[in-house]
Amino acid sequence: MDDSVKEVEILLVEDNPTDAELCMRALKRNKMANQLVWVKDGAEALDFIFATGAYSSRNVCNGPKVILLDLQLPKVGGMEVLRRVKADERTHSIPVVILTSSKEDRDIAESYELGVNSYISKPVEFDAFAKVVAELGMYWLLVNRPPILK
């Protein structure tokens, strides 16, 4: 895969293709979808992040600049992915933004407990959704300064 060589900026973990497409379109509109990888479940997301399975040729330290993570995922849930990312010292500094339909208080609380960087509930209205996605892409990719990884 070509993507594996390039520096990936956004990892989108989303099982719903329409939501994924909307998300990608919203990013594309703001010219931020170039270095985006979309995976459809938690297991694939973990393979990508930790350079295992299909992504074993990747370097773990060459992680994405931000992970957009849905919570309701097949195989491995979003919360488990978050837990694993934040538990591993190679990946725990990668910003993780939960982008989900869930508004459950306990999901929000648990996510923050695990060290999530943002928790965003996806609005139904596309304009609002596009605005939110653009803003968080802008912030995490352009405004935020991540630590230098060795």
Picking from 36, 15, 39, the residue whose alpha carbon sits closest to that of residue 133 is 36
Helix boundaries (H) for the chain: 2-5, 17-29, 42-49, 78-87, 105-114, 126-137
- Judged by CB, which is closer to another protein: 115, or 123? 123
- 3-state class (DSSP) for residue 120: strand
Shortest Å distance, C-beta 33 to another protein? 14
When asked if residue 122 is in the footprint of another protein (CB under 8 A), the reply is yes
Determine the Cα–Cα distance for residues 139 and 1; give it in Å rounded to an integer: 28
| Part in contact with another protein (CB under 8 A); list of ranges 19-27, 34-42, 107-115, 142-150 | 19-27
Identified binder of another protein from the candidate list 31, 105, 147, 148, rule CB under 8 A: 105
Torsion (CA) 109, 16, 37, 69 in degrees, nearest 10:
0
When asked if residue 30 is in the footprint of another protein (CB under 8 A), the reply is no
Determine the Cα–Cα distance for residues 87 and 64; give it in Å rounded to an integer: 16
Residue count (the chain): 150
When asked if residue 110 is in the footprint of another protein (CB under 8 A), the reply is no
When asked if residue 123 is in the footprint of another protein (CB under 8 A), the reply is yes
Identified binder of another protein from the candidate list 25, 83, 90, 131, rule CB under 8 A: 25
When asked if residue 31 is in the footprint of another protein (CB under 8 A), the reply is no
Identified binder of another protein from the candidate list 30, 35, 93, 101, rule CB under 8 A: 101
When asked if residue 84 is in the footprint of another protein (CB under 8 A), the reply is no
Determine the Cα–Cα distance for residues 125 and 128; give it in Å rounded to an integer: 5
Using CB under 8 A, list all residues that contact another protein: 16, 18-19, 22, 25, 101-105, 122-127, 129-130
